[in-house]
Amino acid sequence: MDRILVRGGNRLSGTIPISGAKNSALTLLPCALLTDEPLTLRNLPRLADVDSFGHLLNQLGCSTMIEGARPEDFGRVMTLRAGKVTATIAPYDIVRKMRASILVLGPLLARAGEATVSLPGGCAIGNRPIDLHLKALEAFGAQMETTSGYVTARAKDGRLPGGKIIFPVVSVGATENALMAAARARGTCVIENAAREPEIVDLCNLLVAMGVQIDGIGTETLTIEGTDRLHGATYRVMPDRIEAGSYACAVGIAGGDVDLVGANPADMQATLGALRDAGVTVEEHRKGIRVSSDGKLGPLTLSTAPFPGFATDMQAQFMAMLTKAGGASVLTETIFENRYMHVPELARMGADIQVRGRSAVVRGVDRLVGAPVMATDLRASMSLIIAGLVAEGETNVQRVYHLDRGYERLEEKLSAVGADIERVSDG
Ligand code: EPZ
């Protein structure tokens, strides 16, 4: 198991390249199943979850070939080709390790006329059901059957007739599965109360490039005219807005001046607004976002919400940054029921945080002290790194495999701007 050691006290300055977005890559990859032609994705981040998804696609008959990186990209180029779908099941042992595997459901159903996925079960941040994914496919005309922990969706005569789903709750994944299922539907599919995250826009743009007609991209109502023959495409994955926001929080608490090259400010307005309200200087420019801070921050009141609101994936990182802000901040997590696993770990470093139901009150403290801490989920792990950047002494973050799922070359990127950080392998 690897650990990451951080010794606090250094200001950060220089340039951090922002990688391709994990949460976009994980919905663009399964689009390869929608056609027998090659799909080339550029700017793919080097992440454990991307590799795991590639292995799953291989098991379904889709080849994946890594090519070099293009100079203007930070990530890899991968060409995928599902000449023939040889299996239509995402098994339990894969889905339980990576919940995003359920995103093969829609494309497999669209391409092969049937798909079986294991029900994902819960994870650290909540029970995360997939009922909305299934409701959408049923609304588009699929026959659904759930037995012994698996759900199978079938399209009579191989193509969905089409239909309309009104989501009672905004769901990123359910919107993604619905879009991919609709891509080859015989009739029109309408998604109301669709998620509007930038990753959804990225997926819509790729599907359009593959020959699907989609109206309302970026809005809460998507109308999809599927096609029997999707063709291949070459597409560049959008930059990771959560990675960029995470490093901005690191600069906020540690102090310094860092250029987040490749970030897209348009995807992050709620995050940038919150940073400015806390006293961080944010300059948006053509190539990214420049963030600077003297480390002296004011309190915030923040509630997570679907895009364009404040992202739930930024809550833990802001909480870490606010542990040293003057006054008391109040963070409310409205999306997931258990996304405060980082609180007890931050408290071990001296943070003053009280969780009451869905809200956490963070009272700024003068000092944090380095300690051995445990990563529990992806964004919680990043909050511990952020706190470690200002904690006195050494912070020893264990179980960093959580981090490796969503942050490419983290210690390299932070060392390059002056952080005292290293990865230690326990063999
Ligand atoms: C995506 O998860 C992201 N993951 C998450 O990022 C992110 O936190 C989340 O969207 C919200 O923005 C990927 O894109 C791979 P949801 P997803 O469906 O699709 C409930 C990270 O750190 N719900 O929008 O699973 C659900 O329980 C990860 O990068 C149902 O009730 O999220 C939650 O309360 C963590 N039934 C809410 O909706 C369903 O069928 C939003 O979940 C589906 C979801």
If asked whether residues 60 and 163 sit together in one domain, one would say yes
| Residue range of the domain that includes 54 | 22-236
> pLDDT confidence of 427, banded at 50, 70, 90?
confident
If asked whether residues 27 and 7 sit together in one domain, one would say no
And the tokens for 349?
């470093």
pLDDT of residue 279: 98
Q: Which of 28, 49, 169, 241 to mutate to test the pocket of ligand 1 (most atoms within 8 A of CB)?
A: 169
Distances (CA, A) of 56 to 6, 9, 59, 373: 34, 42, 5, 32
If asked whether residues 203 and 221 sit together in one domain, one would say yes
**Is 189 noted as a catalytic residue in this protein?**
no
If asked whether residues 133 and 45 sit together in one domain, one would say yes
pLDDT by residue (tens digit) across 299-351? 999 999 999 999 999 999 999 999 999 999 999 999 998 899 999 999 999 99
Give the Cα separation of 191 and 205 in Å (integer): 16
Atom of ligand 1 nearest to the CA of 197: 12
- How many other CB atoms are found less than 10 A from the CB of residue 427? 4
If asked whether residues 29 and 11 sit together in one domain, one would say no
- Residue of minimum CA distance from atom 3 in ligand 1: 23
- Residue of minimum CA distance from atom 31 in ligand 1: 129
Residue that terminates a domain, selected from 184, 202, 236? 236
Residue that terminates a domain, selected from 236, 261, 294? 236
Q: Is the pLDDT of residue 129 over 90?
A: no
Residues 6+ positions from 131 with CB-CB distance below 8 Å: none
- Ligand 1 center from residue 172 Cα (angstroms): 6
If asked whether residues 204 and 260 sit together in one domain, one would say no
Give me the CATH number covering residue 203: 3.65.10.10
pLDDT (average), residues 209-230: 97
Q: Which of 98, 335, 341 to mutate to test the pocket of ligand 1 (most atoms within 8 A of CB)?
A: 335
* Candidates 62, 123, 189, 204; catalytic one: 123
If asked whether residues 15 and 48 sit together in one domain, one would say no
